Amino acid sequence: MLSRVAQRIYWMARYLERAENTARMVNVNAHLLLDLPKKLPIGWSPLIDITGSGALFRELFADASEKNVVRFLIADARIPGSLMTSLIRARENARTIRDIIPREGWEIINALYLDTKAALPTALGQKRRFVFLGSIMGKIEQLNGLFSSSMLHDVGYNFLRMGRNLERADMTTRIVDVRSESLLPQESEDLLPFEHVQWMSVLQSLSAYQSYVQKIQGPVRRRSAVRFLLQDPDFPRAFYHCVLQIRACLRTLPNNDTPMRFVGRISRIRRARPDEMEKNQLHDYVDRLQLNLARLDSIIAQAYFV
């Protein structure tokens, strides 16, 4: 397989995953805010922090109101991390590999881009947004199903899986980081009921709530939620699970010495105890995880895309 084709499959998968994650994050945050006491200074700014685009946001908008944040994260094609940008980039990548991905796949991506662009001017208000973003997520899930059931599970498909899992792991670390940092003051008795609510929403933003409940069978607490999201081997959006997926893909590829060695290093997370870490420690730890993902991305690029 041509390196460029592999690279474009990989990035198409990353952008699709990013679009889906962004949509889910916005929907979950809207729900969370409805449940929290109005006096809490939480609002919409954590979402900007999750995407790591605070500086750009402050340049373009005066305040982190719902309207501004939603517009920033969803609609603006000038903003590198927005949902619209992700769809544009996913489509541009898909266009160049139309002969590799299933034909319906291209048609869905193309329609998703066109429909989203057409709907944007009217779809971002509180009333319609939930359904609108839900349907975008649904389309991307449909694509994942289509790729899985009709693409050859060969080299190209492995690059698709690697892109998707790397992006997933990245989003999970970002959400854990920002939410454990900024949601609520850690030890405050009168807000305890809301700790439950906030971690529930964190799990929901990674569509992890049901899986969590099935597996942990206890109340939603910071410690077990962090452990679940970072270290569970079976939950598809858990950091460790994503790393295992990437390792499985790499194992089938040629010239995999360097990337395999590095993935081996990242999988040591299995034995770490992030749940016992203090706020600052956890922040530093998650920071390191993110740096590792960035390293992994460039190691994969170095090994296969140049």
Interface pick for another protein out of 37, 52, 63, 95 (rule CB under 8 A): 95
Q: Which of 37, 54, 63, 77 binds another protein (CB under 8 A)?
A: 77
- Please, which residues have CB within 8 angstroms of residue 200's CB and are 6 or more apart in sequence? 209, 220
* 154 counts as binding another protein under rule CB under 8 A: no
First to last CA, the chain: 13
Token pair in block for residue 190 = 């009168």
**CA 227, CA 215: separation in Å to the nearest integer?**
12
Residue 212 or 304 with smaller CB distance to another protein = 304
Query: Per CB under 8 A, does 98 bind another protein?
Result: yes
Cβ-based nearer residue to another protein, 30 or 120: 120
152 binds another protein (CB under 8 A): no
Under the binding rule (CB under 8 A), the answer on residue 6 touching another protein is yes
Contact region with another protein (CB under 8 A), list: 96-104, 215-223, 224-232, 282-290: 96-104
Number of residues that bind another protein (CB under 8 A): 22
Angle at 62 between CA 59 and CA 65, to 5 degrees: 120
Task: Please give the Cα distance from 147 to 125 (Å, whole number).
Answer: 32
CA atoms within 13 A on the CB side of 63: 3
CB of 2 to another protein, least distance (A): 5
Q: How crowded is residue 73: how many other Cβ atoms within 10 Å of its Cβ? A: 25
96 binds another protein (CB under 8 A): yes
| Beta carbon nearer to another protein, 36 or 88 | 88
Residues 217-256: x where in contact with another protein by CB under 8 A, - otherwise, as a string? ------------------------------------xxx-
Query: CA 110 to CA 107: how far, in whole Å?
Result: 5
d(CA 239, CA 174): 11
Which of residues 155 and 216 has its CB atom nearest to another protein in the complex? 155
Of 105, 196, 207, the residue nearest 149 (C-alpha): 105
Placement of tokens 């139309």 in the chain: 98
Q: Is 186 exposed, middle or buried (0-12, 13-18, 19+ CB in 10 A)?
A: exposed
- For residue 265, state whether it binds another protein (rule: CB under 8 A): no
Taking the C-alpha atoms of residue 285 and residue 269, their distance in angstroms, rounded to an integer, is: 10
Closer residue to another protein in complex, CB, 155/248: 155
CB of 153 to another protein, least distance (A): 15
Give the Cβ contact number of residue 281 at 10 Å. Answer: 12
Span from 17-25, 88-96, 196-204, 241-249 in contact with another protein (CB under 8 A): 88-96
By the rule CB under 8 A, 112 interacts with another protein: no
The answer to whether residue 2 forms part of the interface with another protein (CB under 8 A) is yes
What does the alpha-carbon distance between residue 95 and residue 78 come to, in Å, rounded to a whole number? 20
Q: Choose, by CB under 8 A, the member of 52, 60, 65, 107 that binds another protein.
A: 107
- Interface residues with another protein (CB under 8 A) are 1-4, 6, 77, 88, 92, 95-96, 98-99, 103, 106-107, 155, 159, 253-255, 304, 306
